[in-house]
């Protein structure tokens, strides 16, 4: 069983319009709703790969009930979300069909009380001993301490469970000091953390700050990883054109499943890049086609060196 944590869950709503123009009314051609927040996205991909996965975090209000109702339809996924008084947030994506561009509007999320945060920590402590790996993903809702991920990492490590951290800003800075097994920033998040825009130097710096391994997302150029076993670069077979929404979460699912299965790093990176690429190519945002993924998996290029660094 793999555990994903989404403290700021969401209902993702996607509107499609012919052409998005400011200061005008628009006729929406399609509306799609699905559970969102990075950890829930990761959980869905893991379930699609055949893993048993438990999803926890916060849920509240009518929006939260809609999210939980949708999760019941995902085979292999167990809902362990913890209730709060506030309402789960919504994220609105407006897709311009003519240009292919997406405009994103993200609500902040419910304000979590100290008692609700304590209740979540107790639920998390009960879940951790029975899982093979944990992913801590996404932003922190208002009211949750900025050091929350650091505390959750320490709880998992005390139970001997490996942890992947995927967040940004001060939550990443605090979390990385708790020595997670993997952090998965994108290039901008990595530069903000380290002050370096050289991805190789920045991944090494992030390891010195506490992460056992760093797998940095370089967008269409794949992943760059600095690990105790060596440094690798994994790239998709061709330059991809499509919708990148959810591709980073699919990459996290690939890394996390490889961590749980104790795969060698080149195999983890191949899986992560192939899943991300398949997500970009899928017609529905955040989904992937299994056959496309398996084809890409055979053609991902991994280069690097083994070291004792």
Alpha-carbon distance values, 38 to 133, 172, 190, 297 (Å): 16, 14, 18, 23
Q: At what angle do helices 265-281 and 290-297 cross, to 10 degrees?
A: 140
For the chain, the distance separating the N- and C-terminal CA atoms, rounded to the nearest angstrom, is 31
Q: Give residue for tokens 């829930």.
A: 40
Report in angstroms the alpha-carbon separations of 185 from 29, 95, 162, 216: 34, 25, 17, 5
Contacts of 69 (CB under 8 A, 6+ apart): none
Angle, CA of 185, 243 and 66, to the nearest 5° = 85
Query: Which candidate, 129, 137, 131, places its Cα nearest to that of 182?
Result: 137
List 188, 249, 289, 295, catalytic entry: 249
Residue 249 a catalytic site member: yes
* Residues in CB range of 245: below 8 A, 6 or more apart: 93, 102, 279, 285, 286
Output phi, psi for 37, to 5 deg: 100, 140
What is d(CA 80, CA 87) in angstroms, rounded to the nearest whole number? 17
Cβ proximity of 263 and 59 under 8 Å: no
Query: Which sequence positions are flagged as catalytic?
Result: 249
């Amino acid at each position: 069983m793999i555990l994903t944590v989404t403290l700021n869950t969401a209902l993702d709503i996607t509107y499609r319009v012919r052409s998005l123009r400011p200061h005008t009314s628009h006729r929406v051609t399609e509306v799609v709703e699905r559970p969102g927040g990075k950890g829930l996205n990761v959980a869905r991909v893991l379930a699609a790969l055949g893993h048993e996965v438990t999803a926890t975090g916060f849920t509240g209000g009518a929006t939260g009930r809609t999210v939980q109702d949708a999760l019941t339809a995902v085979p292999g996924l167990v809902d362990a979300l913890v209730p709060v008084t506030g309402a789960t947030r919504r994220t609105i994506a407006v897709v311009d069909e003519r240009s292919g561009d997406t405009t994103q509007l993200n609500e902040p999320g419910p304000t979590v009380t100290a008692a609700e945060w304590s209740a979540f920590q107790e639920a998390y402590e009960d879940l951790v001993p029975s899982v093979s790996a944990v992913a801590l993903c996404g932003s922190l809702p208002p009211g949750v301490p900025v050091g929350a991920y650091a505390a959750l990492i320490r709880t998992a490590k005390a139970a001997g469970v490996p942890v992947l951290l995927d967040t940004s800003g001060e939550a990443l800075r605090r979390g990385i000091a708790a020595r997670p097994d993997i952090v998965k920033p994108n290039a901008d998040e990595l530069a903000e953390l380290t002050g370096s825009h050289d991805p190789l130097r920045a991944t090494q710096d992030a390891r010195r700050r506490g992460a056992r391994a760093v797998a940095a997302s370089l967008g269409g150029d794949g992943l760059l990883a600095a690990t105790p076993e060596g440094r690798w670069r994994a790239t998709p077979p061709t330059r991809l054109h499509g919708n990148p929404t959810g591709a980073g979460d699919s990459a996290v699912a690939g890394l996390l499943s490889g961590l749980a299965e104790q795969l060698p790093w080149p195999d983890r990176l191949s899986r992560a890049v192939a899943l991300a690429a398949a997500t970009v190519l899928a017609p529905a945002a955040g989904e992937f086609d299994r056959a496309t993924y398996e084809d890409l998996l055979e053609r991902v290029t991994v280069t690097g060196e083994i070291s004792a660094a």
